[in-house]
Amino acid sequence: MHKKTALILTIALMVVLSNVIGHHTASEPTGPTTFKSRELNMLEQEKSKLEDEGKEIPEEPLRKIEWETAYSRFLASEMKKREQEIRQIEEMRAAAPKDEKGNPILPEPEFPEVQPEPYQEAGQVGDREYAESFFPRYYTYKYEFTSAIIASYDVLVSGIDRDDANRSFIIRINNAAKRDEPGREQFDFEGAGVIRFVKLIDDRVAIFRYDGDREGFFDLAENKAEFRPYDSDE
């Protein structure tokens, strides 16, 4: 790949990430260290209202607040990483020698093989807003996301194609993919209805519900979905 082309692609990726970050932090002017998701703000306001009225707080909102707090910490960490990457690219461009037109002459980026850190949130399951957080906003124009689940090195996201309600999908985001492997892969299904992830088993098998309350699973080791109940003895 041409050196300039490789760097342009890298910078374009950072710009997309920065746009996603901007979307998430728009309502939180103090920055990502104090970031709270929209859902967490709403839940905390409702909790405060019940406390002011002297009413008992149900267990379900408290459980959601705990989950959304962990989710907000996860987003804050990801935002900080992206901001550091963007800053490094900007500093590299500023320090690079210039050609006759004043454009920076940039070396081809080096991407060493680095073992990624596992997600601390492995096992967490989220709904539409959580699933949308893994993609640029324009993805939601074509896809209606319904759920997401995190394994140590993978994220599985489910949804429905907005152009074909009979077509559902699962997208696997593989954080540990090798250079010759796809980092993102989509699996399409006809007639399965809405797919919602419910739990993770042994950091390998993601159980989901589909077509109402039928059970299926996604096997990360086999990289495929099965529309039948999971049998741990197999």
Domain count, the chain: 2
Q: What would the pLDDT profile of 204-220 be if each residue is shown by its tens digit?
A: 999 999 998 999 999 99
On whether the CB atoms of residues 132 and 145 are closer than 8 A, the answer is yes
Alpha helices in the chain (DSSP H): 3-25, 38-52, 59-95, 128-132, 139-142
User: 219-222: long-range contacts (C-beta < 8 A, 24 or more apart)?
Assistant: 220/151, 220/154, 220/156, 220/172
Q: Looking at 44, 73, 95, which one is the last position of a domain?
A: 95
What is the per-residue pLDDT for 195? 97
* Residue indicated by tokens 């049998």: 231
What is the per-residue pLDDT for 113? 65
What is the per-residue pLDDT for 121? 87
Bridge partners (DSSP) of residue 185 are: 172
Measured from the Cβ of residue 176, the count of other Cβ atoms closer than 10 Å reads 12
Same domain, 84 and 156: no
- The reply to whether 38 falls in a domain is yes
- The reply to whether 50 falls in a domain is yes
Q: Which residues of the chain have pLDDT under 50?
A: 1-11, 13-33
- The reply to whether 101 falls in a domain is no
* Segments forming the whole domain that contains residue 189: 125-226
Same domain, 130 and 68: no
- The reply to whether 104 falls in a domain is no
- The reply to whether 82 falls in a domain is yes
DSSP 105: -
- The reply to whether 119 falls in a domain is no
- The reply to whether 157 falls in a domain is yes
- The reply to whether 103 falls in a domain is no
Structure tokens at 154: 């993978």
Question: In whole angstroms, what is the distance from residue 182 CA to residue 45 CA?
Answer: 42
Tell me if the pTM is above 0.75.
Answer: no
